[in-house]
Amino acid sequence: MVNPSILVAIILLPALGALVNGVRAFVTPLEKKNRTITNLFALGTTGLSALLALWTVWSYRGAEAAFEHAYYSWIPGINFALRIDPLSCTMLLIVTVVGFLIHIYATGYMAHEEGYTRFFTYLNLFMFMMLLLVLGANYVVMFVGWEGVGLCSYLLIGFYYDKNFAADAGKKAFIVNRIGDFGFVLGIFLIFNTFGSADYGKVFAMAAAHPQQYAGAATAICLLLFVGACGKSAQIPLYVWLPDAMAGPTPVSALIHAATMVTAGVYMVVRSNVLFRLSPTAAAVVAIVGAATAIFAATIGMAQNDIKKVLAYSTVSQLGYMFLAAGVGAFTAAIFHVMTHAFFKACLFLGAGSVIHGCGGEQDMKKMGGLRQSMPRTHWTMLVATIAIAGVPPLAGFFSKDEILAAAWEYHWAVWAVGVITAGITAFYMFRLYFMTFSGTYRGGQVEGIETSEPEHAGHNLIPDRRHLDEGDEHLDKAHGHHVHAHAPHESPLSMTGVLAILAVLAILGGFVGLPAILGGAHPTRFQHWLEPVLLPLGGVPFEFGLASHSTEWLLMLISVAVAAFGITLAWRFYQRDPEWALPKKIAARASWLHKALINKYYVDEIYNATAVAGTLLLARFLWWFDIWVVDGLVNLTRHITVFPLGHGSNLFDKYVVDGLVNGVADSARGASRFFRRMQSGVVQNYALVMGAGIVLIAVIYLFLKPQ
């Protein structure tokens, strides 16, 4: 039985860490913090949270129904409630375990950086929000986490806030995500309007009980939700922010922009699987967008020379794979790939971070090479993760990718074909990365020669997220000061390589939970069986896990392995056997338009600048013009209409009528007094005379005029 207090503690512990470190960072922003205290709170809270998560999953294991607990009534009709079911358990474990490992790694990676405490504040805040996202029992709580992780993503991409490219990348991520979030929030409104509730339990029970009745609404809801997923999970056309997000520190790229946050969209789609199953249209849109993103990003990844850019496009591509899976109805495969991807992509990113760290901040793979000797532990772990992502059995990536491809084959052969080609390209560019980085000889010293040998590329790869190399990059030079000028790369500390080793082990073993039947597993696989309670029966018909014939499945598996092997061989031929890379250079020269398009990422950023950004600016300018001339004109016209007749009229009235009356009274008083003052002669005898005359007068009146 799950303990609700422990459940909420999983969420609140990272929040506590963020609060403590946030206060410490805020109160004395410029002072050096005691890093032991920072570590204690940052790692202590996330570690404890991970332990409690394990305990919670352990105590939930085997339960019949989902566990839900409402903590308080938040908005009428919406509770602040948390939910534990197989899906949230899976995500909970990924987030807490991978998150904790990356926290450990970050203590090593960030050791020389300024803003250490601020970094861990954001990281803990992210953990808090991400846990809220995956544990929430209704769409509204999920949305709070959804926005929270978006905020943390923004803060961490812009971590080097004094660098323009980092601040710009943060803004780009935030704004592009706004577009998606707008769709998501509309979807939530529509869900509430249709079902009268946002609780997963109620909504899915209603939708599953009356599939026909809700099919129409489900299409609209699913498309809106998928807009949100596109933003958060970097799908076409909203993927542009993720490659730029690499401006953040590498642990952030690993945690947020590879392992956890960007998979939130996949989680949301899988969570809403009942609705997506009601709407084949929406599911097809998801599958097509996923497949297109997968191959689109993979081709870009082939031509990038920045180690983090390659991984970024790889992440976009793999996320496309997950949506492809969700779109073709293989929801368990999507989550399975989320999990395996979290292991090997976190390992790859952290390995890349270790390489960057060891090479004194270099991110250009053309200036690496031969790191196998100087960074053996990083080399081995990254090799394992590269094999895993390439889809070589029996590593984790093979099983999840194979499950997706099998489901895609059943859905439509074209989707499968795109998936297989993407797998081949993935294998190629990942091994290209591996060979360029780790084999051959170290090229850090002969940078100039290589760049001049490819003059047409020079400049294209000076991608602005190469934070360590930027001019005037003072604190970063200081950060890696002890080896900026030293050309010998060195191995990273144990806190980093240890984490790499753990993730490499997970990347090897993580796939066996989804061992398919033909390789000695069960049908459905153990992972599918575990997630089965989430896939509610539609109108009484239980969810069917696809099962192709053994021969088909063997064939598909063989093809995907062969394609992966082909990609690896090609990379080996291009970048390992020939240390001069003559062949790829020749191809690039032969098809220079294609090469340029790939290196410039199909000019998508430029197209967006020319259309969306320029359009927005044009609209803003038009609105400004409208405001100046029309709105202000109307206001001024009103002023003229009112001020002149009314203002001036009342002024005249005031001047001549009101003032005239007042002055008239004063003037008449003055005139009267001017007349009467003459009586006041100052000669007392005059007064006496008047008095005497008065008495005489009174006497005369009294004596002679008195009526008898």
Partner 1 sequence: MVEAAPSTAAYLMLSGTLFTVGLIGVIIRRNMITVLMAIELMLNAVNINLVAFSARLGSLEGQVFAIFIITVAAGEAAVGLAIIIQLYRLRSTINVDEARELNG
Tell whether residue 683 is a contact of partner 1 (CB under 8 A). yes
- Is 680 near partner 1 (CB under 8 A)? yes
- For partner 1, give the closer residue by CB, 620 or 701: 701
Q: Please tell me the count of residues contacting partner 1 according to CB under 8 A.
A: 12
- What's the min distance (Å) between Cβ of 676 and partner 1? 8
Among 619, 662, 688, 698, binds partner 1 (CB under 8 A): 688
Of the candidates 484, 466, 476, the one whose C-alpha atom is nearest the C-alpha of residue 115 is 476
Q: State which residue, 212 or 685, has the beta carbon closest to partner 1.
A: 685
Q: Could you write out the DSSP letters of every residue in 312-372? A: HHHHHHHHHHHHHHHHTT-HHHHHHHHHHHHHHHHHHHHHHHHHHHHTTS--BGGG---HH
> Using CA atoms in the order 87, 88, 90, 93, what is the torsion angle rounded to 10 degrees?
180
By CB under 8 A, the residues from 342 to 381 that bind partner 1 are none
Taking CB under 8 A as the criterion, the residue among 30, 541, 684, 703 binding partner 1 is: 684
344: burial class by Cβ within 10 Å (0-12, 13-18, 19+)?
A: buried
Q: Quick one: 485 or 674, whose CB is closer to partner 1?
A: 674
- CB of 446 or CB of 681, closer to partner 1: 681
Contact 306, 349 (CB under 8 A): no
- The CB density around residue 539, as the number of other CB atoms within 10 Å, is 12
Q: What separation in angstroms does the CA of 632 have from each of 115, 584, 628, 637?
A: 47, 61, 5, 8
Nearer of residues 37 and 689 to partner 1, judged by Cβ: 689
Instruction: For 392-426, give one letter per residue: b (16+ CB within 10 A) or e.
Output: beebbbbbbbbbbbbbbbbbeeebbebbbbbbbbb
- Residue 668 CB, shortest distance to partner 1, in Å, is 18
Give the whole-angstrom CA distance, residue 661 versus residue 626.
Answer: 48
From 30, 679, 703, 705, residue interacting with partner 1 (rule: CB under 8 A): 679
Shorter beta-carbon distance to partner 1: residue 641 or 699: 699
Is 701 a binding residue for partner 1 by CB under 8 A? The answer is no
Among 36, 212, 551, 685, binds partner 1 (CB under 8 A): 685
Which one of 20-28, 81-89, 515-523, 686-694 is the stretch in contact with partner 1 (CB under 8 A)?
686-694
Shortest separation between residue 674's beta carbon and partner 1, angstroms: 10
CB of 701 to partner 1, least distance (A): 18
CB of 675 to partner 1, least distance (A): 11
Residues 618-677 that bind partner 1 (CB under 8 A): 677
In the block, residue with structure tokens 């004395």: 28
Q: Is residue 682 involved in binding partner 1 (CB under 8 A)?
A: yes
Q: How far is the CB of 684 from partner 1 (least distance, A)?
A: 7
Least Cβ distance, residue 679 to partner 1 (angstroms): 7
Whole-angstrom distance, CA of residue 280 vs CA of residue 278: 6
Binding mask 396-415 for partner 1 (x = CB under 8 A): --------------------
> Coil, strand, or helix at residue 490?
coil
**Residue written as token pair 């474990």:** 93
Look up residue 72 and give its two tokens.
Answer: 């308080």
Closest CB 650 distance from partner 1, rounded Å: 41
Burial (0-12, 13-18, 19+ Cβ within 10 Å), 371: buried
Which CB, 30 or 679, lies closer to partner 1? 679
Helix (H, G, I), strand (E, B) or coil at 516: coil
Verify binding: residue 678, partner 1, rule CB under 8 A.
yes
C-alpha triplet 53, 54, 55: angle, nearest 5°: 90
* Cβ at position 704, least distance to partner 1 in Å: 16
Residue from 692, 694, 697, 698 that binds partner 1 (CB under 8 A)?
Answer: 692
Q: Is 674 or 706 the residue whose CB approaches partner 1 more closely?
A: 674
For residues 170, 174, 176, 180, the Cα torsion angle rounded to the nearest 10 degrees is 150
32 contacts partner 1 (rule: CB under 8 A): no
Decide whether 647 or 692 has the Cβ nearer to partner 1: 692
> Of 163-171, 236-244, 545-553, 683-691, which part binds partner 1 (CB under 8 A)?
683-691
Measured CA to CA, the distance from residue 146 to residue 263 in angstroms comes to 11
Q: For the chain, how big is the Rg over CA atoms in Å?
A: 37
Contacts of 29-37 with CB under 8 Å at 24 or more apart are: 29/118, 33/116, 33/117, 35/107, 35/116, 35/117
According to the binding rule CB under 8 A, does residue 703 interact with partner 1? Answer: no
Phi, psi of 71 (to 5 degrees): -85, -40
Residue whose CB is less far from partner 1, 27 or 683? 683
Candidate segments 146-154, 454-462, 495-503, 680-688, binder of partner 1 by CB under 8 A = 680-688
**Least distance to partner 1, CB of residue 663, Å:** 23
Window contacting partner 1 (CB under 8 A); options: 314-322, 368-376, 496-504, 679-687: 679-687
Q: Cβ of residue 677: shortest distance to partner 1, in angstroms? A: 4
- Give me the least distance between CB of 686 and partner 1, in Å please: 9
Q: Which residue has the tokens 């999953």?
A: 57
CB of 671 to partner 1, least distance (A): 15
Piece of the chain touching partner 1 by CB under 8 A; list 468-476, 514-522, 631-639, 687-695: 687-695
Rounded-to-integer distance, Cα 553 and Cα 79, Å: 45
Q: Choose one: 13-21, 310-318, 366-374, 684-692; the region binding partner 1 (CB under 8 A).
A: 684-692
541 binds partner 1 (CB under 8 A): no
Shortest distance, position 673 Cβ to partner 1, whole Å: 9
Q: How many helices (H) and strands (E) does the chain have?
A: 33, 2
Long-range contacts of 21-24 (CB under 8 A, 24+ apart): 21/117, 21/118, 21/120, 21/121, 21/124, 22/121, 22/125, 24/117
- Residue 681 as a binder of partner 1 (CB under 8 A): the answer is yes
The H or E element that residue 699 is part of is helix 684-704
Cβ proximity to partner 1: between 688 and 698 the closer is 688
Cβ 426 vs Cβ 298: under 8 Å? yes
CB of 692 to partner 1, least distance (A): 5
Task: Please state the φ and ψ torsions of residue 267, each to the nearest 5 degrees.
Answer: -55, -45
Q: Which is nearer to partner 1, 1 or 679 (CB)?
A: 679
* Interface residue list for partner 1 (CB under 8 A): 677-685, 688-689, 692
